[in-house]
Amino acid sequence: HTTDGGATWVEQTSGTTGDSFYGIEVSGWSNAWVVGDLGALLYTSNAGQSWTQQSTNTIHTLLGISFADRDNGWAVGDAGELIHTGNGGALWTRMPSGVSNVLFGVHFNDVANGWIVGENGLILRTTDGGAVWLQQSSGTSSALFNIHFLDRSTGYCTGANGAILKTT
């Protein structure tokens, strides 16, 4: 945790032992979710002073998480795992991603429009909140780890072997 723009950092404890965390989503000044090993998903509503474990109903490691608003979130991970919440994480349910690839990153601009990236250059896109995912051509076979869209058209991906992709 930092309060000075990253000049200094203070370690905060999650209250769990043995878990590694791979993804984080922050909403406002006080709400954050982290995802990790074997379906671990923790939430804080007080800027990390305390963390609560949320049940994900999966044993797959989760690698990325994105919230479109305070209620609607998606997390992705190993073996094509995709989970969704519509109530801020009180209940997470599994959704079909349509793939078995490792999914590393997810980003939603709003509750309808989202993207997922994964191994072998995989990019998936939804325009209906994740009910249907369509594969998009990335032009690479490198694993893609992170994705972010500025709006519905302009987005960036990063990945293995120096991959940096942009779409307009």
pLDDT, one tens digit per residue, over 21-49 is 999 999 888 899 999 999 999 999 998 88
Distance CA 9, CA 11 (A): 7
Q: Greatest CA span in the chain, whole angstroms?
A: 43
pTM: 0.93
Provide the sign of the torsion angle of the four alpha carbons 111, 96, 74, 122, taken in this order.
negative
CB 90 within 8 A of CB 117: no
Q: 125: how many CB neighbours lie within 10 A of its CB?
A: 15
Q: What value does the CA radius of gyration of the chain take, rounded to a whole number of Å?
A: 16
What is the pLDDT of the chain when averaged over all its residues?
A: 93
Q: How far apart are CA 157 and CA 33, in angstroms?
A: 21
pLDDT in tens, 63-115: 999 999 989 999 999 999 999 999 999 999 999 999 999 999 999 999 999 99
Are the C-beta atoms of 83 and 64 separated by less than 8 Å? no
